[in-house]
Each structure stands twice: as C-alpha cells, then as structure tokens.
Structure 1
Amino acid sequence: MPGRTPEGEALTGLVMPVFELAAALDKAAGSITEGSEITPAMWQVLGLLIDDPLSVAEIARRLGHARQSVQRLANVAVETGIAEWRENPEHKRSQLLALTKHGYAELAALRPRQHKWANAVAAKLGEQDLLHLSQSVKELTEAIRDEAN
C-alpha cells in the first residue's frame, strides 16, 4: 500500500483542526441562539431559507445531513410558526419550506449577537486572511465532494 504524498499528509493534518473548528462553531452557535426559539441546528436550516424556500431534500444536500434529520427540524420549525410549507411548482409531492414573518423576526433577533461575535473573532484574523481561508475551504469542500462521487 503506498504512503501518503506530502499533499495527502497536509490534508490529513487538517482533519482534526477542522473537526475542532466545527465543534467551536457549534458552541458559538449555542451561545448566540441561547434563549431563542431557534436552536443551532435549526439556525443552519433556516439560514438557507432567507432568500428562497427550499425542499427538505435540497436543504439536506446542501448541509450534508440526512434528509430525515432535516425533516425533523423542518417539522419543529413549522409547529412553532417559524416556517411554513408551500407548494412546490416543480415537484407536487415535495413541498418547499419557507420562513414565516415570525421566522424572519427570530432570525433578525439573532443578528446583533452574531454580528458582535463575528466582529470579535474576525478582528483577531483580519479580512484578507479570512477571505483567503473562505476560498480555500470552498475549494477543499468541492475537491472532497468530487472525490466522493
């Protein structure tokens, strides 16, 4: 069995820090959403709906989650009045999940907390480093998805 290339070693060395980053982001999301009707997991789902309603399957694809887990979150969001089901003109059996006025208001209430957190963290790194990192993360995500297919 061949060993890893230097690039493969570098990627392997990135895995644990990325897992730690995901955990830190989850913890931060918990702090930001504390006291809100919106949980961190629901915030991920609802954040995708700000511009357009989406099907549960599309949300699951974008987040890389199981459709069933997104369905549970969607059902809770609908039950609490944060989201609603709408007809899907492209697929009769797959409704679209859309934010309600209440949902937009709940997300808007989180915005000042998220802005304060984002500004504090970003000040430690700087705009250019973060823009470069963001682009690198997008490229890495695409490469991983390409390899999985």
Structure 2
Amino acid sequence: MNQVRRTPGGAALTDLILTMFRANNRTLTWGDRLVAPQGLTSARWQVLGAIVYAERPQPVAWLARDLGANRQNVQRIINDLHKDGLVAFAPNPHHKRAQLVALTEKGQQTYEAAIRSYDPAANALADGLDVEDIQTAHRVLLALRKRLEGDDDAEEQD
C-alpha cells in the first residue's frame, strides 16, 4: 500500500490547524463569558459585528458569506436576535423574500457595551505577546483562509 507522507510544511500546518481548533474553542468560551452580561453569546456577538461592519443593511445570505458561516445557522441567530429586539427586518428592494437585517437602537447599544468589555480584555490578552508575532500569525491565517476559500470556489464549479 502506497501511503502519502506529510511534507514538513504539511506537518507544520497540521500542528497549526490543531492548535487553531483548540484556540478557537477557548476563544469562544472566553467570548461567551465576556458578553454574557449583555445577554449575548460569542455567536450572537459575531453576527451583530457582521451587521455593524456591513455599514448598511444586508440580507442574511450576505452576512453569512461575510462570516464564512452557514446561512441557516446565521438565520437562526438572526431570528433569536430579532426576538430579543436587537435586529429588525426591512424590505429588500432587490429581492422580495430576502429581507435586509439592521441593528435596532437596542442592538447598537448592546454591541457597543460588548465592545467596551472586549477592548480591555483584548489588551490584557495581548499583553506580553510580541505585536510582530501577532501580525505574522494574522498574515498566515489570512493566507490560509484565502486558500481555503479558493477551494470553496473550486467545489462550487464542479
């Protein structure tokens, strides 16, 4: 049986991916604790952030794409946020069924409160880490994401 062996790059990437999985789980737990006083979870906070950074109301599918997430999962979270009065739906002039999602005043206040909690916590977490190392890690993860998104494009063409 011919077994393919990992190259040094493949082995290093595997180590990175395994560490990334663990760090992601810890980050979500950290985020959940951080925004719990605002009645949020990391997932809800992430969706609110996508709405804020979109700069104008977007349909759920576009928000999901921007997050790199499953549309159905984002729709479920949006529905929960709507029930809590944090987002509102608006008609989409380009598509009857794909309503636009916007923050309500309560949603904006909740998001801002989460950020007020986040900034000092992020500063503390970064304390003692080399800024250049953080920037290098960001570049590597960005390049990895772009390659994986390229794989998504190839799959869609099949």
Return the TM-score normalized by structure 1: 0.91
Structure 1 residue 18: Cα displacement: 0.4
Counterpart pick for 1:21 among 5, 14, 23 = 23
Counterpart pick for 2:47 among 45, 69, 73 = 45
Task: Determine the C-alpha separation between the residues in 2 that align with 1:97 and 1:23.
Answer: 28
**Residues 37-82 of structure 1: CA deviation (Å, up to 9, x unaligned):** 2222111111001123221112222333322211111111111110
Structure 1 segments, 4+ long, off by >3 Å, are none
Task: Determine the C-alpha separation between the residues in 2 that align with 1:43 and 1:69.
Answer: 14
1:4 paired with 2:38, answer no
Partner residue, 1:105: 109
1:69 paired with 2:73, answer yes
1:140 paired with 2:109, answer no
Structure 1 residue 34: Cα displacement: 1.6
Task: Determine the C-alpha separation between the residues in 2 that align with 1:134 and 1:42.
Answer: 23
Partner residue, 2:124: 120
Amino acid corresponding to residue 134 of structure 1 in structure 2: H
Amino acid corresponding to residue 123 of structure 2 in structure 1: N
Aligned partner of residue 85 in structure 1, secondary structure: strand
Aligned partner of residue 96 in structure 2, secondary structure: coil
RMSD: 1.5
Aligned partner of residue 34 in structure 1, secondary structure: helix
Please say if residues 50 and 67 of structure 2, whose CA atoms lie closer than 8 Å, have aligned partners that are also in contact: no
Partner residue, 2:88: 84
Amino acid corresponding to residue 150 of structure 2 in structure 1: D
Q: How many aligned positions are there?
A: 149
Q: Percent identity?
A: 33
